[in-house]
Homo-oligomer: A and B are copies of this chain.
Amino acid sequence: MITIKDIAKLAGVSYSTVSKALNGDPRIKPATRQKVLAVAEKHQYRKNIMAQQLSTGRSNIIGFVLDELSNPLFSNISGNLHAELKKRGYQMILVVADDGVDIFSQLRVDGCILWDYALEDREAFWKKFATLNMPCFVLGTDEAPNSPYIKIDRKEGIYKAVQHLQSLGHSRIGFIGNSQNIKLEGYREALQRTGLGLEPHYVLPAHSSWEDGYFAIRNYTFGPESPTAFIGLNNLVTRGALRALLEAGYNVPKDISLIGYDDLPDMQYAEVALTTIGPPLEELAAQAAELIVSLIRGEQTEYPVVIQPQLNHRSSTAVSRK
């Protein structure tokens, strides 16, 4: 690999001059800089970021950590975040899963953003997180022990969904998915706030995948007291549930209304374009980029930053039959 010293020799200057020229130090005479730049260009010199970061502590790289890529939500957020960071002069590298905290405690990037992934052991996570001696925050968590974070107000989101269904005349509203406590709590609170009743069988068990949603409906026994509308835990669960409903012969939305959580492009391409509730994803990414950059700059930041989910009305919700 060609280094700054090679360039120095070739350009006939000292290597500290090369460094300055390369970094646009105004003290270097334009002619000298031109020469250095020309030589560097000609030999395809590339700065060694590792060395730069060792020397200055800056790499202009931000790490993003998530636990899985299989949900389109994450690809979407990654893509948006990447674009937003680029605008601000940073490159983004992505790391999957629990390595995340580990790798970035060793690979000293300028800052890192962690998606609030499902954890068996939150305690352990926050402990590790605390040792991450760099600007960082958790994206999408509901709270964080004395550190900045971005909160998605999922409860309020679910409430909006319930409200929407109520306004359409639904009084028996079910929820598909029991793997995220916050959403479940949001659902329960929303029913209370709207004065709607909650029966135990309104909550169908489902974890997070398409199949989970599909089988949640398949395994559910419909009766006269069953919900006339459902809210799905996430995009995948919702689409699985939709498929099962259609296969069972229900018309969505005439027989049953359905709202999905997280507004991803594929929600509108479902068999029935899905009404969704979810955080505006571009805004989420922009806020995340903004926050991490502020933290890196050492600016005072107010936290949590709260993102409000929005209702996107499409074709899977309609006036209740009865």
Chain A interface (Cβ within 8 Å of chain B)? 1, 44, 46-51, 53-54, 59, 61, 63, 68-70, 72, 74-76, 78-79, 82, 86, 91-97, 99, 103, 105-108, 131, 133, 210-211, 214, 240, 243, 266, 269, 271
Contacts and interface: CB of A to CB of B under 8 A. Distances in A.
A78 B69 contact: yes
A54 B3 CA distance: 12
B54 A50 contact: yes
A221 to B, nearest CB: 23
A115 to B, nearest CB: 14
Contact of A95 (B1, B79, B92): B92
Q: How many copies does the complex hold?
A: 2
Given A50-B53, A53-B50, A269-B243, A94 B95 contact: yes
Nearest to A63: B93
Contacts of A107: 49-50, 59, 61, 93
13 contacts: A1-B108, A46-B106, A48-B54, A49-B108, A50-B51, A50-B53, A69-B69, A69-B74, A72-B72, A92-B95, A93-B94, A93-B95, A211-B269
Contacts of A211: 269
Contact of A269 (B44, B63, B214): B214
B106 A47 contact: yes
A53 B210 CA distance: 42
Nearest to A271: B271
B78 A96 contact: yes
